Structure 1
Amino acid sequence: MTPTSTFPLALFDTPLDKDSTAAPLQRQLHHRLKQAILDNRLAPGSRLPASRGLAEALAISRNTVTAAYEHLAAEGYVLQDRQGTRVAALASASRPARPRVAREPTAPPVTARRLAQIRPTAPPSAPSHALRPGIPALSHFPLAAWRRACDQAIRRAGPAALGYGDPVGEPALRTAIARHLAVARGVRCVPEQIVITEGAQEALALCVRLLSNPGDTAWVEDPGYRGAKVAMQGGDLRILPLRVDGDGLVATEADWKAQPPRLVYTTPSHQYPVGAVLTVARRLALIAQARAQGAWILEDDYDSEYRHAGEPIGAMQGLVAQAPVLYLGTFSKTMFPSLRLGFLVLPEALLEPTRIPLQEMLRGGHRYEQLALADFIASGQFSRHLGRMRRLYRDRQHALREALTQHLGLPHRIEGGHCGLHLTVRLPSAYPDAAIAQASQRYGIAPTALSGFALQPQPQDNGLVLGYGNTSAELFAPLVQRLGALAREAQV
C-alpha cells in the first residue's frame, strides 16, 4: 500500500479480526474508519488510501474495502470523486473533542418548563411488593380463558388485524363496553360515544388536549390521583386543588366565582385515595354548575366495579340526561395492568366537534387484544371474573382491617374500605408517612404515603395507602406488625 502522508497507519496496528465468530470484515473496517473520523484522527479533507492498496495491506478483498467506503459515503462521512475518497467536513456537534482531564461543567439540556412541575411522589417499587395499591390479584386471573379469547381473535381476524384499525377503537369492543356500562354502571351511551385508549392515563391526556387550552383552570381532588395532576400539568393548565371530606369533593360557590374551571376531575364513586363517595346532592350541584359555567367534568370510575357493601354506586354520568360529563374507565384493575386498555365515553354534544381531531390524533392499535377483550366481555367471562374477584377482595379487605386493628399497635383511623383494592390508614403526624413508606421498601412492602397524593398537604394527610389486591390474607398480620415497628422507628 502507498498511503498518503496524511493517513495514520496506526489505525491498522491492530489487524482486523478474521475469526469465524467475529463481525464481518466490512463492518469492522467501516466501524474503525467511522470512529477515526468522529474522533478527529482523520481530519476533514484527508484522503483515504486507494481501495486496492488498503486491501493488500490488510490482506482482505478489495470488494470489502470498496463496500466499506461506499457505506461511509452513503452516510456522509466521506466524499468520493475521480481523485479518490476523502473525509467530509462534519459539523462540530458530530465531532466531539477528546475529553479534557478537567471537564468544564455543562448546562442541563433544555426541556419544556412544565416538566419541572412533575415531581416523584412515591418511592419506586416492584409490582410484586406486598400491600402495593392498585395491583389486582394477578395469580387469580383466568389465563386459560383469556388465551382462548386471544386465539379466537387471531383466527377470526387473521392477518388483516395486523394493520391499523379504527382510530377510536374496534367496533366490537366499543359495543361490548357500552352494553356492560349500561347494566353495571348505569352509564347512558351508545358505542359511537366510546373511544378506546391506552389506559385511563391516555384518556385523561386526551380530555386535556380536546377540551382545554394552556392557562385554563382545572380542579382536582386533594388528596387525589397523581396521574390526573400530571395530565393537567402536561397541558399547561392552572391546577386548583380542592379538599375532599367524608362526602367527596368540596366545591363551594366561592370557588365557582373566584376560579371557575374548564375541567373538573373527580372520582365520585370511590374517591382515590380516601375512599369517599360523592353524595347525590353534590353530584347534582356539580353538574348544574358545570353546565352553567361551560365546564366539563372528568369522571374517573377506575375501580368501582368492586363494591364490597350494599348495592353498587351508579356513575354520575348517568344521573341526568346530557350531563357535561366525560366518563373514564380502565381494565387495569378488572383485568390486568399490562393490557393497557381503557376507554372514554364522550357526551353526545362532543361527537361532531371531536370527530375529525380524533381521527387525526389517534391510530388504531392493540387490535387482537381489543377483539379478544370484546369476546371476553360478550361471552360472560368478564362478569364471572368480576364476581370471583369481588368475593376475594371483600375477604381480603376484612382480613386487612382486622390485622390493622390487632397488630398495628398505633393510633389510627381506617378509611375507604367499602370499594376497590385498598384501605387508607390515617396516622398521627408523629409517625411521618413518607419515612415509613421509604423504610418499608427494604422489606418488600410498598404502601404509599397519603401525603404524597396532596398538592397542598394538610396535617391530617398523614397516613398509608395499603393495597390488598396483590397480597394473600395470611400475610397481613406479619406485614402489619412490620409496618407498626417501622412507624415507631420513624417516630419524631
Structure 2
Amino acid sequence: MSLDLVLGSLDDSAESGEPRQLRLYRQLKAAILDGRLTPGVRLPATRQLAADYRMARNCVLFAYQLLLAEGFVEADRGGTRVTTLPLGKTASTPGSPASGSALLSRRARELPALIRGESLLPFAPGVPDLNAFPWSAWARCLQKAWGEVSARQLAYAEPGGEPELRRAVASFLSARRGVACAPEQVFIVAGGQMALDACARLLADSGDTVWLENPCYPAARNTMLAAGLKTVDVPVDRDGMAPATTLWKEAPPRLLYVTPSHQYPLGSVLSLERRLAFLHGLQQSGGWLIEDDYDSDFNHAQPGARPLPAIQGLRPEAPVIYVGTFSKLLYPGLRIAYMVVPRWAVADLGDAVRSLYRGGQAVEQRALARFLESGQLMRHLRRMGPIYRERQQALRNALHAHFGADCPILGGQAGLHLVLRLPDSLPDSAMTEAARENGIAVRPLSIYHAGRTGTNGLLLGYGIAESQRIPELVRRLRLAADGLAASR
C-alpha cells in the first residue's frame, strides 16, 4: 500500500527540522484523525514502508509504537490497522467555527482590543528609558541570587512572595510613599494586571458594581468586565474622579478603582477632600478601594520632593488594596508587582490569593530585594528624575512650537506622558495611524473613554524619547496632522 496521498515530505531537509520518525508519526496521526485513514485500514508492513520512503526501519517502528501506545492503531497477526476512535475524535467532528471569537465567552467577545506593536517606538506611553537602566548592577544582583539558588527557588515561589522582597518593598513604600504596612501585608504578584485580576475576582462577585474613572486605564476596565462586574463610569476633572453626590445611593460600589497620584490618562491628582470622602463612603457601603499607584515615582511638579502620600497611609485599617509595580522603575518585562492589603485581611485574602495563583520568579525576586536594599533603585530614581523632567519640558516646548502656543496640554505633575488635546477636525484615531506611518507611537485618548467616545487627543510618552530628538519627532507629528487635514 502506498501512502503518497496521505504523507507529506519526510525528508530531513524539511524546514521544520523535525526528526523523520516524529514527522512520520505526526502525519499518520493527522491522517487518522481527519479520516483520510479510516478505521480498519491496514498500514504497510514496517519493512515495506521503510523501503518506500527510504528510511530506517527503526524510524517506522518508532512511529507505529507511538500510535499503538496512544490507541490510534492496533496490532494483530495480520499486521497493524487503524482502530475505531471514540466519538468526537473522528472526521465526523464538526469543523472549527468560521470565526475564532465564537469560541470565547460573551464577556471575552465584548472586551475592547488594546493597541499592540508600539512599545519601542518614540512617544509610546508607559515605557521607561530602558537604555538608562543600570543593567550591570542588576546583573550582579541576579548573579548573586543565582549563586544562592536551591531546589526551593526553582519550585513555586513562597506564598505571597519571597520574604526578603516583601521586607524590602514594605520598607521602600514606607519611606517613599507613606504606606503603612508590615512585610506580611505585602503580596508579590506577576505584574499589576494580576493584582487587578485578584481584586476583581476575590473581592467582588459577578454582577457587583465597580466604579471606574472615565477615561480609564483600558486593561483595568477589561479586567473588571472579564470578571463579570457591572461598571459605572465616573467622570474625571482637575481634582480626579468626581462622582455625583447621589451616586453613592443609586449605585453603591463594591469596588472603586482609582489612580489618585497621577490619573491615567489625564494626569490629574485626586484631592485630599475626595480621598477622605471615598474612604468614608466605602466604610458606609462595605466596599473596597483599589489604589493603583502605577506612575507616581517621578514628581515633576516639585523636583526633589516626595510623591504625594498614598490613600492607604491616611487610614491604614481602611478597606484599601494598594497596587504598585516595578515596570516604570525598572523594566516592563520584569513582571513583578505587589499588593498591600489591610492587616485584618491578610489571612483570608492571603489564602484566597494562594488558592487562585501560583508564585514564580523566586530568583528574580531575591535579586530585586538585594537591588532595593543596596540603594541601587533609589540612585536610579534620583538620576532619572531630572532626565525625565528635561524630556517633558522639551516635549512641551516642541508642542507649543508646532501646534501653537495655546495648544491644550494635560498632565505632567508626575509620570512619563503628556496629553495633547486635538481639535475635532483631527480625530485622534486617524492621527494615531498617520503618526505610526511616520514611525511615531502616539495613542488616541478616545480609547480610554467608555464607549470609546470622549475627549479628542493624543497620549505622548517621553520615557524613551531623548530630548535632542523630541523637536524633530514633534515636527513629524505636525506633518502627519497637516497631511490628515489636507486629505479630509
So what's the TM-score if we normalise by structure 2? 0.91
What is the CA distance between 1:483 and its match in structure 2? Answer: 1.8
Q: Which amino acid aligns with 1:467?
A: G
Q: Which residue of 1 aligns with 2:442?
A: 447
What is the CA distance between 1:175 and its match in structure 2? Answer: 0.4
Secondary structure (helix, strand or coil) at the match of 1:85 reads strand
Q: Which residue of 1 aligns with 2:411?
A: 416
What is the CA distance between 1:86 and its match in structure 2? Answer: 1.5
Q: Deviations over 1:169-219 (max 9, x none)?
A: 101001000001001100011110111111111100011111000000100
Q: Which amino acid aligns with 1:346?
A: V
Q: Take 1:399 and 1:61, find their aligned partners in 2: how far apart are those partners?
A: 69
Q: Which residue of 2 aligns with 1:237?
A: 229
Closer, same or farther: CA 150–46 of 1 in aligned 2, 3 Å:
same
Q: Take 1:431 and 1:16, find their aligned partners in 2: how far apart are those partners?
A: 56
Corresponding residue to 1:174 among 147, 166, 174: 166
Q: Which residue of 1 aligns with 2:324?
A: 329
Report matched runs for 1:21-170 at 5 Å: 26-27=21-22, 29-31=24-26, 33-51=28-46, 63-91=58-86, 94-96=89-91, 106=98, 109-120=102-113, 122=115, 124-170=116-162
RMSD: 2.9
Q: Deviations over 1:31-58 (max 9, x none)?
A: 4543443453432112234445656766
What is the CA distance between 1:9 and its match in structure 2? Answer: 6.5
Q: For structure 1, which segment, 189-198 or 58-67, has the greater mean C-alpha deviation from structure 2 after superposition? A: 58-67
Instruction: Tell whether 2:211 aligns with 1:219.
Output: yes
Corresponding residue to 1:436 among 431, 450, 454: 431
Instruction: Tell whether 2:259 aligns with 1:267.
Output: yes
**Contact persistence 1:15–1:58 (CA under 8 A):** no
Q: Which amino acid aligns with 1:463?
A: G
What is the CA distance between 1:24 and its match in structure 2? Answer: 5.4
| Identity rate, percent | 43
Closer, same or farther: CA 83–450 of 1 in aligned 2, 3 Å:
same
Q: Which residue of 1 aligns with 2:351?
A: 356
Q: Deviations over 1:276-315 (max 9, x none)?
A: 1111111000100011110100001111111012232111
Report matched runs for 1:195-344 at 5 Å: 195-310=187-302, 311=305, 312-344=307-339
Instruction: Tell whether 2:476 aligns with 1:478.
Output: no
Secondary structure (helix, strand or coil) at the match of 1:439 reads helix
Secondary structure (helix, strand or coil) at the match of 1:372 reads helix
Q: For structure 1, which segment, 280-289 or 16-25, has the greater mean C-alpha deviation from structure 2 after superposition? A: 16-25
Q: Take 1:450 and 1:420, find their aligned partners in 2: how far apart are those partners?
A: 16
Q: Which amino acid aligns with 1:132?
A: A
Structure 1: where are the runs of 5+ without partners? 1-6
Closer, same or farther: CA 488–79 of 1 in aligned 2, 3 Å:
same
So what's the TM-score if we normalise by structure 1? 0.90
Secondary structure (helix, strand or coil) at the match of 1:465 reads strand
Closer, same or farther: CA 130–62 of 1 in aligned 2, 3 Å:
closer
Q: Which amino acid aligns with 2:160?
A: V
What is the CA distance between 1:321 and its match in structure 2? Answer: 3.6
Instruction: Tell whether 2:377 aligns with 1:382.
Output: yes
Q: Which amino acid aligns with 1:344?
A: M
Corresponding residue to 2:395 among 379, 400, 404: 400
Task: Count the aligned residue pairs.
Answer: 481
What is the CA distance between 1:416 and its match in structure 2? Answer: 0.7
What is the CA distance between 1:154 and its match in structure 2? Answer: 0.9
Q: Which residue of 1 aligns with 2:366?
A: 371
Q: Deviations over 1:314-371 (max 9, x none)?
A: 1111012412211000000011111111100011221122232222222221111100
**Contact persistence 2:434–2:481 (CA under 8 A):** no
Secondary structure (helix, strand or coil) at the match of 1:253 reads coil
**Contact persistence 1:412–1:428 (CA under 8 A):** no
What is the CA distance between 1:59 and its match in structure 2? Answer: 7.0
What is the CA distance between 1:82 and its match in structure 2? Answer: 4.1
**Contact persistence 1:152–1:372 (CA under 8 A):** yes
Corresponding residue to 2:484 among 472, 484, 490: 490
**Contact persistence 2:392–2:412 (CA under 8 A):** yes
Secondary structure (helix, strand or coil) at the match of 2:211 reads strand
Q: Take 2:6 and 2:137, find their aligned partners in 1: how far apart are those partners?
A: 61
Q: For structure 1, which segment, 62-71 or 178-187, has the greater mean C-alpha deviation from structure 2 after superposition? A: 62-71
Structure 2: where are the runs of 5+ without partners? none
Q: Take 1:364 and 1:439, find their aligned partners in 2: how far apart are those partners?
A: 42
